[in-house]
């Protein structure tokens, strides 16, 4: 029997925010208040400075904003966070005068995070999916300069970071130049691929699948290590049954909608690991997953991308017969824009 496709749900954007500890900043100009460490500071406690080329957080953030502008990527909200802030004495420098022995007190933000929401509708994978750019920089050289873009992102001051596509560069003498080059490539890749990805998602959302077939697919591929780590297969079953965001898989009457989109997201949610800590109460979640909290056991980003690429290709029509999904058995009411998978 034909069912009603899930409605497109409008998103009410909320202010973006970086999770975790640290000082949140809304005005990019405020980043100028943080000192960029230099080898000439003379602070023997900062022996990780082997060069004078650390990128100021302000310049790093400006580069990301400028890169978006160059690609006509509009940002409707942006937030910053600095973490591991330390107060230190640095030489007092006055333009036109030699360096004096006097010192001044300065703040050094060892870690910096950025999250920005993309406004362009044509660059979002679906009307009910928000797309973000995230980035981070560091002045203790324990983190590389990184930038990612995606729809399910992790950006947290407890060092968790991830997105759908991702680049990074070492914080070294030529690292900022390499970062800018790789950022250009990443933004180009995303803009070139988003139209095709949007088309795939429309297909995934409108292709209904019997729940037992979805679970059979998950089980059939549980030991191949192609789509998810074998030890997390049970979480994929659970997330398909009880999605972290269930409102996206129900029609106007509250009926559950079982689609390839739901199956795909069951995997991608599991890649993000367990949501363990309630942001409000600071206590562990009882059910193991919820909307907020710190994540544990996050899938490494390169592996997550490999898994998602494999799964995405596997769920397309051309590859379906190779993975045990029989596209030939269609119920009455089948049309090219409304496809089903049935036992």
Confidence at residue 58, expressed as pLDDT on a 0 to 100 scale: 97
Mean pLDDT, the chain, rounded, equals 78
Residues 6 or more apart whose Cβ sits within 8 Å of residue 280: 292
User: Phi and psi at residue 302, in whole multiples of 5°?
Assistant: -60, -40
Note the pLDDT tens digit of each residue in 148-168: 998 767 677 766 677 777 788
Q: What is the pTM of this model?
A: 0.70
Q: How far apart are CA 343 and CA 89, in angstroms?
A: 70
Cβ atoms of 163 and 125 within 8 Å: the answer is no
250 shares its domain with 188: no
Least confident segment among 111-115, 126-130, 198-202, 297-301: 297-301
Query: Residue 19: which pLDDT band, with cuts at 50, 70 and 90?
Result: confident
Is the model's pLDDT at 28 over the cut of 90?
yes
Q: Is the dihedral of CA 256, 258, 263, 268 positive or negative?
A: negative
Same domain, 174 and 218: no
CA–CA dist 42, 100 (Å, integer): 13
Bigger pLDDT: 12 or 191? 191
Side by side, the strands of the sheet bearing 103-118 are 23-25, 75-91, 103-118, 132-138, 145-150, 165-169
Q: Evaluate whether residue 13 is within a structural domain.
A: no
Q: Does 222 have pLDDT greater than 60?
A: yes
Q: Match 């990019």 to its residue by tokens.
A: 28
Q: Which string of DSSP letters, residue by residue, matches 183-219?
A: HHHHHHHHHHHHHHHHHHHHHHHHEEE-HHHHHHHHH
Are 133 and 146 contacting, i.e. CB atoms less than 8 angstroms apart? no
Are 147 and 239 part of one and the same domain?
A: no
DSSP E strand stretches across the chain? 23-25, 75-91, 103-118, 132-138, 145-150, 154-155, 161-162, 165-169, 207-209, 274-275, 295-296, 339-341
User: Are 143 and 271 in the same domain?
Assistant: no
Counting beta carbons within 10 angstroms of the beta carbon of residue 253, is it exposed (0 to 12), middle (13 to 18) or buried (19 or more)?
exposed
Tell me, yes or no, whether 3 lies in a domain: no
Kindly tell me the sign of the dihedral angle through the C-alpha atoms of 74, 154, 48, 90: positive
Rounded distance between C-alpha atoms, residue 318 and residue 320, angstroms: 6
Query: Which stretch of 72-86, 111-125, 242-256, 312-326 has the lowest confidence by average pLDDT?
Result: 312-326
Alpha helices, DSSP H only, in the chain?
Answer: 57-70, 175-206, 211-220, 233-241, 260-271, 301-314
Domain that holds residue 322: 210-341
Residue 293 has pLDDT above 50, yes or no: no
* pLDDT beyond 70 at 5: no
Please check whether residues 160 and 32 belong to one and the same domain.
Answer: yes
The answer to whether 118 and 131 are in contact (CB under 8 A) is: yes
Residues 182 and 296 in one domain: no
State the Cα–Cα distance between residues 332 and 3, nearest whole angstrom: 11
Same domain, 223 and 179: no
The answer on 171 and 48 residing in a single domain is: yes
Instruction: Name the pLDDT band for 1 (thresholds 50, 70, 90).
Output: very low
Query: Which structure tokens are listed for 282?
Result: 């600071």
Residues 186, 266: one domain? no
> Total domain count for the chain?
2
Q: How far apart are CA 41 and CA 228, in angstroms?
A: 48
Same domain, 130 and 238: no
């Amino acid at each position: 029997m034909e069912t009603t496709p899930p409605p497109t749900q409008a998103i009410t954007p909320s202010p973006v925010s970086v999770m975790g500890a640290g000082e949140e900043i809304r005005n990019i100009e405020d980043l100028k208040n943080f000192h960029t460490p230099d080898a000439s500071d003379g602070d023997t406690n900062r022996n990780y400075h082997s060069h004078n080329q650390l990128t100021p957080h302000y310049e790093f953030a400006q580069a990301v904003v400028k890169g978006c502008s160059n690609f006509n990527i509009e940002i409707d909200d942006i937030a910053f966070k600095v973490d591991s802030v330390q107060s230190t004495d640095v030489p007092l420098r006055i333009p036109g005068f030699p360096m004096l022995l006097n010192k001044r007190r300065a703040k050094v933000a060892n870690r910096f995070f950025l999250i920005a929401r993309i406004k362009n509708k044509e660059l979002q994978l679906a009307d009910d999916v928000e797309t973000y750019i995230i980035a981070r920089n560091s002045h203790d050289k324990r983190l590389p300069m990184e930038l990612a873009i995606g729809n399910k992102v992790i950006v947290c001051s407890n060092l968790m970071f991830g997105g759908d596509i991702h680049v990074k560069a070492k914080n070294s003498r030529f690292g900022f130049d390499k970062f800018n080059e790789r950022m250009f490539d990443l933004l180009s890749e995303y803009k070139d691929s988003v139209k095709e990805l949007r088309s795939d998602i429309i297909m995934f959302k409108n292709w209904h699948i019997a729940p037992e077939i979805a679970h059979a697919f998950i089980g059939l591929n549980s030991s191949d290590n192609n789509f998810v780590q074998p030890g997390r297969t049970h979480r994929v079953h659970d997330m398909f049954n009880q999605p972290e965001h269930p409102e996206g898989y129900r029609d106007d009457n509250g009926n559950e909608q079982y689609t390839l989109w739901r199956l795909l997201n069951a995997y991608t949610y599991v890649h993000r690991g367990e949501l363990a800590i309630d942001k409000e109460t600071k206590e562990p979640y009882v059910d193991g997953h919820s909307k907020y909290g710190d994540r544990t056991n996050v899938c490494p980003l390169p592996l997550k991308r490999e898994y998602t690429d494999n799964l995405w290709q596997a769920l397309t029509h051309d590859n379906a017969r190779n993975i045990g999904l029989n596209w030939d058995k269609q119920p009455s009411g089948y049309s090219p824009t409304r496809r089903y998978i049935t036992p």
